[in-house]
């Protein structure tokens, strides 16, 4: 079991850029693209408790803003246990974090994010 806490400094700008792009897309009314960047931020942040929890918080807010009850209800348990599972190194790599996927399902990591993750470590 690997205990994680802080996101590597080399990875943080990419994570923050995904969140910034989410907000930009949201403000432009580009809801589908906005969600995609939340998913990408989730992939980058999921090994780190604070970043992982912050993305699930944004996903919960997205659910409220889009009046998506399934997303809201799906994010509540993820908010409660996601950070703990990150800290303990027990996350399903590549999982995009939305209520539309099982919370324990590993998923392929997009190639560009694989490269970013590898370079940061």
What is the DSSP code string of 4-32?
--SPPTTTHHHHHHHHHHHHHHHHTT-HH
Domain count for the chain, please give it: 1
Question: Does 42 fall in a domain?
Answer: yes
| Residue-level pLDDT at 45 | 95
Question: Does 7 fall in a domain?
Answer: no
pLDDT band at 86 (very low <50, low <70, confident <90, very high): confident
Rounded alpha-carbon distances, angstroms, from residue 49 to 26, 99, 108: 25, 19, 21
| Residue-level pLDDT at 24 | 98
Question: Does 45 fall in a domain?
Answer: yes
| Residue-level pLDDT at 103 | 87
Question: Does 49 fall in a domain?
Answer: yes
State the burial class of residue 120 (Cβ atoms within 10 Å of its Cβ: 0-12, 13-18, 19+).
middle
pLDDT in tens, 32-78: 999 999 999 999 999 999 999 999 999 999 999 999 999 999 999 99
Domain that holds residue 42: 12-120
Question: Does 2 fall in a domain?
Answer: no
Question: Does 1 fall in a domain?
Answer: no
Output DSSP code: residue 95: -
């Amino acid at each position: 079991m690997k205990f994680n806490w802080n996101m590597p400094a080399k990875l943080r700008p990419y994570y923050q850029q995904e969140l910034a792009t989410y907000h930009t897309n949201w403000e432009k009314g580009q809801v589908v693209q906005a969600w995609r960047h939340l998913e990408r931020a989730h992939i980058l942040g999921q090994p780190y408790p604070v970043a992982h929890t912050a993305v699930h918080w944004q996903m919960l807010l997205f659910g409220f803003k889009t009046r998506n009850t399934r997303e809201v209800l799906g994010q509540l348990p993820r908010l409660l246990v996601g950070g703990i599972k990150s800290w303990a190194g027990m996350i399903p790599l590549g999982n995009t974090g939305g209520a539309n996927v099982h919370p324990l399902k590993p998923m392929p990591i997009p190639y560009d994010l694989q490269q970013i993750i590898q370079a940061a470590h």
